[in-house]
Structure 1
Amino acid sequence: MLVTGSFRPMRCGVGDYTRRLAGALAARGDLEVAVLTSKSGEGEPPIGVQRFAIVDHWSLGAAKTVWRLLRSWRPAVVHLQYPTQGYGSGRLPHFLPLLAWASGARVVRTLHEVTTWDRLASVKQVVTFALQALAPGTLIVVRPSYRSMLHPLLAWMTRPRRYVFVPSAASLPRSSLHGDSWERVRSSYLGGKQRLIVFFGFLYPPKGADLLFEIADPATDRLIFAGATGSNDGYVRKIRELAASERWRGRAEVAGYLPDEDAADLLTVADAAVLPFRDGGGPWNTSILAAIEQETPVITTALDGPREDSERGIYFARPGNIEEMKKALDRLASPSARRPPVIARSDPWSEVAARHVAIYRGGRRK
């Protein structure tokens, strides 16, 4: 049983990850898969996945509801996802590992973000982290060298736990566009410009979407911002104002959330995906992986930049270095060389699922 605070139609990167993982696990045919989520996560689950959208608020008062499901469905493994937007400020997620362990299940947790010391702003948050760290179960991380990124005290708290690095995969399917349909979609987005530059992901200040207006060139480029706008209305308003400015009017569009297939089509016809994360990115970022899946060049940032992964078509600039990203964009985004992907790939989620099954079936319940 996978547990996530967010599931479709809720907008959350970890929720999308959980949905893809659940579908890949069920597709194997040798597992019974369920997802426990919020009442708002009532979207159609992947084939073969049972969905229990039964939690109204993730407060301690919902523990009884969760316990009843655990006792009735009796999962062999409970796999918890942290953090998710759907959990909100509820306290129950901090106690879920102990609740799952008490039900007799093996407990697995995936940590999608690094908890650094500066994020623990109060004694209450430190205690909460300690409670999570000391809870039973294997910890899956999507970032390499996770433990080394923690504050020494936080690393000490988690020293009894087993960490397993499992790389993520793209949140989007591979686009099926080809030939005339590819050209038609590309032309519809270009609007007469030479290059199509895309930002894909949530519109939050740390994602750095506003920097595209400095990196791209209004004389040659068309900008498309695709992704959920989230709850940061002030930042989204800033992006819309920049798009409507005299310099960019008619050359930039905030498309907002797109269905998976449409988002994949947009990325596959783009000349580049520009993702100037203010805190740096890496192979754990689903936006980067989504662009790679479409074989679209990526200009992004990394704390250890500048560097280039030429095999996958990614340039990592230093966070905030506009000139560096401009030069990388001019070098990598060549409209004359842009063509639809021609090599079919196997579904990367099948490998991710296999790695998870090995964890589920290995080790001891502790």
Structure 2
Amino acid sequence: MSSRVLVVTGSFPPDVCGVGDYSAELLGAMREQGIDAASYYRRDWRVTSVLSHFSRLRRAADVIVMQHPTQGYSGRVSPYLLCAMPLASRKIVTLHEYSRKGTAGKLLAYLFFVFADHIVFTADAERDAACRAAPWIRGKSSVVPIGSNIPMRAPQAPRIDVAYFGLIRPGKGLEEFVDVLRAMGKRAAALKLALIGQTVPGFEAFTDGTLATLRDMGVELLLNRSGDEVADWLSSTRVALLPFPDGVTRRRGSALAAMGNGALLVTTRPQTEADFFEGLCVMRDSIRELADATLEAVAHPEATRSAREAGMAYAQSLSWSSIAQTYNGIVSRIEGRRA
């Protein structure tokens, strides 16, 4: 008899949240493989709601897979407390972010480290950082890379020379995208530029100011499009310029979506994982270098063809089917320990 799995999340489509999208994709892939899986999605995660969640989840499934963090949790402590409570279920926590947490967040994460039966990280660097703080979790943790939340298409005839793709909020690289376009000077005016973006509630002032700036720079604004529409635009884009403030990592779903749809990724070199991404994209260290590399890639696409094709092959290899299979293997192992 197969285990019943419950994916616990504070965000789920149509909410604007990458981890919410991840939850939906994982759930769908599990079901396609015949896994008895359902979602537990609630909006109220105030501390006063913990007992209600506990009552609902206490015997609701054989295994719960908690996704953390999500926009819907709003930084509240309830998910941590829920993991520490005596549920009948085995507990898997997918910890999408650890190293960037503040002191309080890292201390609260110890509740996951102590009480979860297994912890999934989405990048080796994140797992290594957590294992340095809690060495005992090395034996009950693993890395499962994320997949793209955007469908993937075969590359089409280019309609866009340079595009930014992602959530429209601070800290995602959009400010740097503007800086790179400015560094291009008059040469940017000869390019077909686009922003393929999703607006995020709560960041209206940032969104309005940024969109006005981009509009004045001649950037076409393609906002709040469906996943299929985004895939169509990305698959007809020469260069996806994604200058993440902390560099590209395997946790960047927007980078995977761009590469998987055949766009050349031009991005910021990370402090970790740079060797992994060598040959999959074009990495540079400064705004000026990013501007020059982008212009060069548009002018001479054959020079970066191998990186574009390698990036596309890598992103397309991370299928949700394989991700769901990996989770199913984890479920089987921890259920085996129960037996």
**One fold, TM greater than 0.5?**
yes
2:121–2:127 Cα contact (<8 Å) kept = no
> Aligned to 2:195, what secondary structure does the other structure show?
strand
Q: Which residue of 1 aligns with 2:89?
A: 105
Q: What is the correspondence of 1:125-144 to structure 2 with a 5 Å cutoff?
A: 125=105, 127-144=107-124
Q: 1:89 to 1:161 in 2, by over 3 A?
A: same
Q: Which residue of 2 aligns with 1:77?
A: 63
Aligned partners of 1:158 and 1:86: how far apart in 2? 30
For structure 1, which segment, 276-285 or 1-10, has the greater mean C-alpha deviation from structure 2 after superposition? 276-285
Question: Offset at 1:214?
Answer: 3.4
Q: TM-score, normalised by structure 1?
A: 0.77
Aligned partners of 2:90 and 2:166: how far apart in 1? 33
2:176–2:245 Cα contact (<8 Å) kept = no
Aligned partners of 2:114 and 2:277: how far apart in 1? 37
Q: Which residue of 1 aligns with 2:215?
A: 244
Q: 1:269 to 1:95 in 2, by over 3 A?
A: same
Q: 1:295 to 1:311 in 2, by over 3 A?
A: farther
Q: What is the correspondence of 1:1-366 to structure 2 with a 5 Å cutoff?
A: 1-29=6-34, 31-38=35-42, 56-71=43-58, 74-99=60-85, 102-116=86-100, 119-120=102-103, 125=105, 127-150=107-130, 155-156=133-134, 159=137, 162-175=140-153, 182-183=156-157, 187=159, 190=160, 195=161, 197-216=162-181, 217-230=187-200, 231-245=202-216, 248=217, 251-301=218-268, 302-304=270-272, 309=277, 312=280, 314-318=281-285, 321-334=286-299, 348-363=319-334, 364-365=337-338
Q: 1:258 to 1:103 in 2, by over 3 A?
A: same
2:165–2:240 Cα contact (<8 Å) kept = yes
- Identify the structure with bigger relative contact order (alpha carbons < 8 Å, sequence gap 6+): 2
Identical positions, percent: 24
Q: 1:98 to 1:91 in 2, by over 3 A?
A: same
Could you tell me which amino acid in structure 2 is paired with residue 3 of structure 1? V
Could you tell me which amino acid in structure 1 is paired with residue 248 of structure 2? G
Q: 1:104 to 1:334 in 2, by over 3 A?
A: farther
Could you tell me which amino acid in structure 2 is paired with residue 33 of structure 1? A
Q: 1:89 to 1:207 in 2, by over 3 A?
A: closer
Q: Which residue of 2 aligns with 1:43?
A: none
> Aligned to 2:151, what secondary structure does the other structure show?
coil
Q: 1:78 to 1:306 in 2, by over 3 A?
A: closer
Higher helix share: 2
**Unaligned residue ranges in structure 2 (runs of 5+):** 1-5, 182-186
Q: Which residue of 2 aligns with 1:45?
A: none
1:25–1:33 Cα contact (<8 Å) kept = yes
2:83–2:111 Cα contact (<8 Å) kept = no
1:215–1:322 Cα contact (<8 Å) kept = yes
Q: Deviations over 1:316-356 (max 9, x none)?
A: 223xx1122123213333587699x999x677111111111
> Aligned to 1:225, what secondary structure does the other structure show?
strand
Aligned partners of 1:134 and 1:310: how far apart in 2? 36
Aligned partners of 1:306 and 1:156: how far apart in 2? 25
1:271–1:335 Cα contact (<8 Å) kept = no
Could you tell me which amino acid in structure 1 is paired with residue 252 of structure 2? N
Question: Offset at 1:295?
Answer: 1.7
> Aligned to 1:258, what secondary structure does the other structure show?
coil
**Unaligned residue ranges in structure 1 (runs of 5+):** 39-55
Aligned partners of 2:263 and 2:213: how far apart in 1? 25
Aligned partners of 1:104 and 1:307: how far apart in 2? 43
Q: TM-score, normalised by structure 2?
A: 0.82
1:83–1:113 Cα contact (<8 Å) kept = yes
Q: 1:243 to 1:70 in 2, by over 3 A?
A: same
Question: Offset at 1:71?
Answer: 4.5
CA RMSD of superposed structures (Å): 3.1
Q: Which residue of 1 aligns with 2:3?
A: none
Q: 1:20 to 1:126 in 2, by over 3 A?
A: closer
Q: 1:299 to 1:7 in 2, by over 3 A?
A: same
Aligned partners of 2:64 and 2:276: how far apart in 1? 38
